[in-house]
Amino acid sequence: MTSVVRAVRGDLEPGELGPTDAHEHFFLTTPVQPGDEFADVGLATVEALTLVAVGVRAVVDWTPIGLGRDPEGLLDVSQATGLHIVGATGVHRDAHYPPDHPLRSKTEGELADRFAHDLTTAPVRSGVIKVGASYHRLQPFEEKVFAAAAEAHHRTAAPICVHTEHGTMGAHIVEHLRGLGVGPRSVVLAHLDRNPDPVEHAETGATGTWLQLDGPGRTKYWPDSTVLQLIADLVEAGLGGQLLLGGDTGRRSAIRAYGGGPGMDYLFTRFRPRLEHQLGEQLSRQIFVDNPARAFAFEPAP
């Protein structure tokens, strides 16, 4: 068996991935962010070209079912730009879906069937399973989604990518998924820098899971120096081999093609040079190239 990264244009050898933005959204429409939705394929292509211009070769798009997920749109962007794009199936945290949303009444088995279909037999295949947790707790709908994601992982081996709310419950989520038979190396935890606590990050990292920071450019919450220090602390703790970085440009108002800022390329034009200057180019290569090639690779089940 050989590992692949499942991108929208087809399976890649992990080494083909190249410099990767581990968390983005080319389209996102959610009641949680009224007025900040974006769903235009043409504008997504314009923004994607800014990534290509700074040497990015691959992007993982985390938009899940019901929130503007558009596999054919991702394929269009990928074909127009040459970027490798890994799409997501799966379901976000509870708050993104109104009480009467049809996804809520699906059984665990129905959700698992849908996820597995998106990963294996859909015309444009997804490469990761997205799930979401609430602030310091898992709600019943989320527990059902987690169980369905674990079932789909068992059938496909695809990694499970987790939205943590304000970075809470990292280790708890890893253990919850381990209890469902999902190993920590198949789990990516996003937004951990929303709780900029290096000791908690080290504890979470000790489980063996992937640690994703995606807060560069969120200057009204914390400066980039905070994220750089978190990275330095994780490297000091021996966890550089589990680190991923994403831009998570999840708002219309943050995307330059829509007239916003700082733009999807901020992670590479502004943050990456600081990372390389302060922590070295070798670490930059590990975080942007080597780690994504392992985190998003899996051996497809026969």
Task: Give me the residues that bind Zn ion (CB under 5 A), please.
Answer: 62, 248, 250
Nearest CB to Zn ion, comparing residues 33 and 284: 33
User: Closest separation between CB of residue 276 and Zn ion, Å?
Assistant: 25
Nearest CB to Zn ion, comparing residues 5 and 190: 190
Beta-carbon contacts of 43 under 8 Å, excluding residues fewer than 6 positions away, are: 255, 257, 258
User: Closest separation between CB of residue 128 and Zn ion, Å?
Assistant: 12
Q: Give DSSP secondary structure letters for the chain.
A: ---BEEETTEEE-GGG--SEEEEE-S-B--TTSTT--B--HHHHHHHHHHHHHTT--EEEE---TTTT--HHHHHHHHHHH--EEE-EEE---GGGS-TT-GGGG--HHHHHHHHHHHHHTSSS---EEEEE-BTTB--HHHHHHHHHHHHHHHHH---EEEEPGGGTTHHHHHHHHHHTT--GGGEEEE-GGGS--HHHHHHHHTTT-EEEE--TT-TTT--HHHHHHHHHHHHHTT-GGGEEE-----SGGG-GGGT-SS-TTHIIIIIHHHHHHHH-HHHHHIIIIIHHHHHT-B----
Nearest CB to Zn ion, comparing residues 155 and 251: 251
User: Closest separation between CB of residue 297 and Zn ion, Å?
Assistant: 21
Nearest CB to Zn ion, comparing residues 62 and 115: 62
Nearest CB to Zn ion, comparing residues 151 and 250: 250
Nearest CB to Zn ion, comparing residues 4 and 209: 209
Question: Taking the alpha carbons of 246, 172, 296, 287 in that order, is the dihedral positive or negative?
Answer: positive
User: Closest separation between CB of residue 62 and Zn ion, Å?
Assistant: 5
User: Closest separation between CB of residue 231 and Zn ion, Å?
Assistant: 19
User: Closest separation between CB of residue 289 and Zn ion, Å?
Assistant: 21
Nearest CB to Zn ion, comparing residues 4 and 169: 169
Beta-carbon contacts of 53 under 8 Å, excluding residues fewer than 6 positions away, are: 265
Nearest CB to Zn ion, comparing residues 151 and 212: 212
User: Closest separation between CB of residue 251 and Zn ion, Å?
Assistant: 10
* Contact criterion met (CB below 8 Å) for 170 and 164: yes
User: Closest separation between CB of residue 265 and Zn ion, Å?
Assistant: 17
